[in-house]
C-alpha cells in the first residue's frame, strides 16, 4: 500500500481476494467519518463517529481480559436490536450490516466455532447506532469461581479472608464486562457438547460475555449509489426538491460525458503516437537494410543517401515552382546551393604550401641510443634528419651558454673597476 493509491486501485484487486465490503475512516476539521462500501457496485453509506474507544483502551480497563487467538479464526455472530422501523434508510442499513458478516445456519452450525459476537443497537430517539464487540464463553452453572479453582486443584490464597466461606461465596469486585452474575437470563441448555470443561450436551451452562473492543457510536448521514459517486438516496440533514435533484443529475451526466470525451481523446492520441512510432520503426529498418546492401556492393559505396537527398531537395524546388509560379529564393532551400563535389585544386602556377614538422625530443641521449642498433631500411632518412636537428639544437644551446658566461664576466669586471681595492673573482 502506498500513499498515492486511490480507491479504484483497491477495488481492482478486491475481486480476486474475495473482498465484499470496504470500511473507510476519514477525518476532517469537523468530525470523524466512516464509510461502509458494498463492492463492486455500491451502495455507499456514510456515518458520523460521535464517540469511540480503541481496543487497547477497552482491554486495559478489564481485570481479566480474554484475548486468545483461536477466537479470531471464525467470523463473529451478529446481533441486531432496534432496526424494525419503516424508513427506507433503516431497511437498507439493516441489509448492509447483515451482508457485512456471513450468514449462520442454526441447524448446522458448530457451537465451538462461535467465540465472538457483534452487537448493533439502534436508538430511535438519538438516531445513533451503538457498536460493541464481545467474547462468548460458556461455563457450567452451580459453581462459583473459588469452587472452580479448588476443583481444578489450585491452591487458593486465603490470607485476605476471615473465613473460607467468604472465598467460596465471592462474586463481586469485577467490572460490568466480566462480572459472573448468573441467572435465568443467561442460563441455557446446550444442544451440543463444547470443548470447555463441564459443558456437556443437554446440561445447563451460563453464557458470559467479555468485551473485546472497540466501541463506537455512529450516526447515519447519507446513502449514495455506486462507489461514493452516484445519486444521493438519503441525507439526514439536507433535503432537496425534485427540481434540485434533476439539476444535480443533469450536472452529473454532463461531467460524466466530458470525462468520456477526454478519455476518448486520450485513447486517440495514444493510438496516433503508436502509429507514428511504428512508421518510424519501419523507416529505420528500411534504412538499415539499404545500408547493409550498400556495404555488400563495393563498386558504389555511400552514394545512395546523397542521391536520395538531392532528389528530395529538387522535388521541393519543383513543387515550389509549380505552386507559386516563380523561382524560389536561395534562403528557402540553402542545401541546394551547397555543392556536393570535392574542393577544386589550386592553379598550376601556384606552389602549394607545406608545413614543416618539428620532432619533439625530450631526452636527446635516449633518442640517440635508440638509433645505434637500428638497421638500414625504411625510415632511415627520417632518422638522419632527426639526428641533424638534435645536433643543431645541442650546439645552439652550448653557444648561448658560453655567451652568457662571457657577458656575466664582463659585467663583473666593470663593477670591480668602479670599486677599486677589490680583487676580481676568477
What does the pLDDT average to over 323-350? 61
Mean local confidence (pLDDT), 316-339? 67
| Candidate from 70-79, 97-106, 177-186, 335-344 with smallest mean pLDDT | 335-344
Supply the pLDDT for residue 181.
60
Q: So what's the pLDDT on residue 343?
A: 56
What pLDDT was estimated at residue 360?
A: 53
Q: Which of 13-22, 282-291, 397-406 shows the lowest per-residue confidence on average (mean pLDDT)? A: 397-406
What's the pLDDT score for residue 383?
A: 64
Going from N- to C-terminal start, the domains of the chain cover 391-426
Q: Is the bond leading into 25 cis (omega within 30 degrees of zero)? A: no
Contacts of 407 (CB under 8 A, 6+ apart): none
Who wins on pLDDT, 23 or 169? 23
Of 364 and 417, which is predicted with more confidence?
Answer: 417
Res 222: pLDDT: 93
**Spatial distance between the Cα atoms of 44 and 47, rounded to a whole number of angstroms:** 10
**pTM (predicted TM-score):** 0.55
Q: Encode pLDDT of 15-67 as tens digits.
A: 889 899 999 999 998 899 999 999 888 899 999 999 999 999 998 888 888 88
pLDDT in tens, 141-167: 766 667 767 766 677 777 888 887 777
pLDDT for 243-260, tens place per residue?
888 888 888 888 889 999
Per-residue cell: 306? 546523397
Amino acid at each position: 500500500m502506498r500513499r498515492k493509491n486511490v480507491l479504484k486501485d483497491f477495488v481492482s484487486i478486491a475481486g480476486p481476494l474475495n473482498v465484499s465490503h470496504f470500511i473507510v475512516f476519514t477525518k476532517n476539521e469537523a468530525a470523524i467519518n466512516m464509510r461502509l462500501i458494498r463492492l463492486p457496485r455500491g451502495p455507499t453509506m456514510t456515518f458520523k463517529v460521535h464517540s469511540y474507544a480503541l481496543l487497547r483502551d477497552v482491554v486495559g480497563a478489564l481485570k481479566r481480559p480474554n484475548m486468545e487467538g483461536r477466537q479470531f479464526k471464525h467470523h463473529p455472530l451478529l446481533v441486531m436490536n432496534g432496526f424494525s422501523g419503516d424508513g427506507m434508510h433503516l431497511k437498507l442499513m439493516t441489509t448492509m450490516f447483515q451482508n457485512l458478516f456471513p450468514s449462520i445456519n442454526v441447524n448446522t452450525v458448530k457451537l465451538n466455532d462461535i467465540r465472538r459476537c457483534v452487537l448493533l443497537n439502534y436508538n430511535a430517539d438519538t438516531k445513533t447506532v451503538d457498536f460493541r464487540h464481545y467474547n462468548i464463553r460458556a461455563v457450567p452453572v452451580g459453581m462459583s469461581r473459588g469452587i472452580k479453582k479448588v476443583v481444578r486443584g489450585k491452591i487458593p490464597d486465603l490470607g485476605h479472608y476471615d473465613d473460607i466461606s467468604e472465598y467460596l461465596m465471592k462474586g463481586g469486585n469485577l467490572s460490568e464486562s466480566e462480572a459472573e452474575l448468573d441467572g435465568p437470563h443467561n442460563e441455557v441448555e446446550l444442544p451440543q457438547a463444547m470443548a470447555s470443561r463441564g459443558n456437556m450436551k443437554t446440561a445447563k451452562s451460563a453464557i458470559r460475555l467479555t468485551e473485546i473492543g472497540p466501541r463506537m457510536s455512529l450516526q447515519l448521514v447519507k446513502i449514495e449509489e455506486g462507489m461514493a459517486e452516484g445519486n444521493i438516496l438519503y441525507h439526514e440533514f439536507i433535503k432537496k426538491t425534485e427540481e434540485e435533484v434533476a439539476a444535480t443529475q443533469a450536472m452529473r451526466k454532463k461531467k460524466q460525458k466530458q470525462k468520456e470525451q477526454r478519455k476518448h481523446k486520450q485513447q486517440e492520441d495514444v493510438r496516433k503516437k503508436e502509429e507514428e512510432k511504428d512508421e518510424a520503426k519501419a523507416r529505420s529498418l528500411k534504412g538499415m537494410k539499404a545500408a547493409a546492401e550498400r556495404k555488400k556492393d563495393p563498386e558504389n559505396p555511400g552514394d545512395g543517401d546523397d542521391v536520395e537527398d538531392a532528389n528530395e531537395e529538387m522535388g521541393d524546388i519543383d513543387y515550389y515552382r509549380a505552386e507559386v509560379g516563380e523561382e524560389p529564393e536561395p534562403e528557402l532551400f540553402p542545401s541546394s546551393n551547397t555543392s556536393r563535389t570535392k574542393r577544386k585544386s589550386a592553379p598550376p602556377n601556384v606552389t602549394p604550401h607545406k608545413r614543416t614538422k618539428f620532432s619533439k625530443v625530450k631526452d636527446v641521449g635516449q633518442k640517440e641510443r635508440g638509433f645505434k642498433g637500428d638497421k638500414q631500411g625504411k625510415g632511415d632518412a627520417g632518422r638522419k634528419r632527426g639526428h641533424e636537428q638534435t645536433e643543431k639544437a645541442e650546439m645552439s644551446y652550448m653557444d648561448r651558454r658560453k655567451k652568457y658566461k662571457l657577458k656575466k664576466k664582463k659585467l663583473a669586471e666593470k663593477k670591480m673597476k668602479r670599486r677599486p681595492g677589490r680583487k676580481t673573482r676568477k
